[in-house]
Amino acid sequence: MTRNQPHRLSVAPMMDWTDRHCRAFHRVLSRRALLYTEMVTAKAVIHGDRARLLGFDAAEHPVAVQLGGSEPAELAEAARIAADMGYGEVNLNVGCPSDRVRSGCFGAVLMKQPALVADCVAAMIAACPVPVTVKCRIGVDDQDPEEVLPAFLGTMRAAGVRHVIVHARKAWLQGLSPRENREIPPLDHALVLRMKREFPDLEIVVNGGIASQRQVLGFLAQGLDGAMLGRAAYHDPAGVLIGADSAVWGAADPVADAAGAAGAMRPYLLRHLAGGGRLHQVTRHMLGLFAGRPGARAWRRMLSEGASAPGAGIELYDAALAAVAGQAVLHEPGHDSAHGPTRDPARDSAHDPAGAA
């Protein structure tokens, strides 16, 4: 994979999170990272409101859609529709352990049916002109990942897939909640690295437990084709995405810091509000923007408490940003929060004639 490929750093598809507003926000932080939609079922794409489910702005590119399903013909039709709408990649979900996914016979449970997954992706590849990729786990339940994962990757390769994202944890389909499945099963990044050596012709991206640009660069240095961020991109978006374009691709960064990102989002918010949208539909994705920085608590509190109120507008957003700026000033070196900026007597005497006397 070349240095220009967007897969070098991507943000995972996350249900209820990575909607079009979240993606617009993440695109302000990084022009290069590959962004994914929430998972959309093939049936919904075929029979539902496509504009609502799949609509996106061209400014979101590079952007990929993730589909859920297990019926080859349905997935092929949904993949064709997504490609026609302008998505640059169609991804099949073979990793989500959510109850909503299991009940539909798709997601991580499909790790137990690799032949069916192969039929699905082969049909999708035949139906659409853009790359078809797979996101999977290293195994489920009592499966042995050392045996199951290489066999699964070999089956995907034989079906025509050339790019796989591997969440480096098993999924337990019984006994663990979706949240617990993201935290309790141990990570096995080493297994994913071995898979890249075993399948050098496949593009392999690692997912799971990645929370810093340093980790991303480490996986790239070890030969993986990319790393996919999950919750870290939502809870500390500035920490993991600002600076990524220069660090990962050697390109210019669109914003320098969290305050710059907040300012850059203002025109988007104004357009959204002017179109009848509500403030919280966008700002709910931005609550972690100042995580670990002065003013983070005020920012989160003001937006979480006020943005969903009827009539909440740009004034609330500006007030929250002003509160952050005020806290940042209080934390500047040499500032005494009780009495204003501290003074250096030696410096003052050098510039004050009375002091010099």
Q: Where in the sequence numbering do the catalytic residues fall?
A: 96
Residue 331: φ, ψ to 5°: -95, 5
Question: Could you tell me the two tokens for 281?
Answer: 């539909």
Give CA–CA dist 184/158, Å, rounded. 32
Strand-pair category, 203-207 with 163-167 = parallel
- Spell out the residues 6+ positions from residue 317 whose beta carbon is closer than 8 angstroms to its own: 266, 269, 279, 283, 303, 307
CA distances (Å), 3 to each of 162, 211, 225, 247, 251, in order?
Answer: 17, 21, 9, 11, 10
Q: Which long-range contacts (CB under 8 A, 24 or more apart) does 97-106 make?
A: 97/137, 97/140, 97/171, 97/172, 97/173, 97/176, 97/178, 97/181, 98/15, 98/178, 99/178, 100/15, 101/39, 101/68, 102/173, 104/41, 104/68, 104/69, 104/70, 105/70, 106/41, 106/68, 106/69, 106/70
> Is the Cβ–Cβ distance between 248 and 8 less than 8 Å?
yes
> Is the Cβ–Cβ distance between 220 and 180 less than 8 Å?
no
Q: 91 has which bridge partners?
A: 66, 133
Give CA–CA dist 249/202, Å, rounded. 21
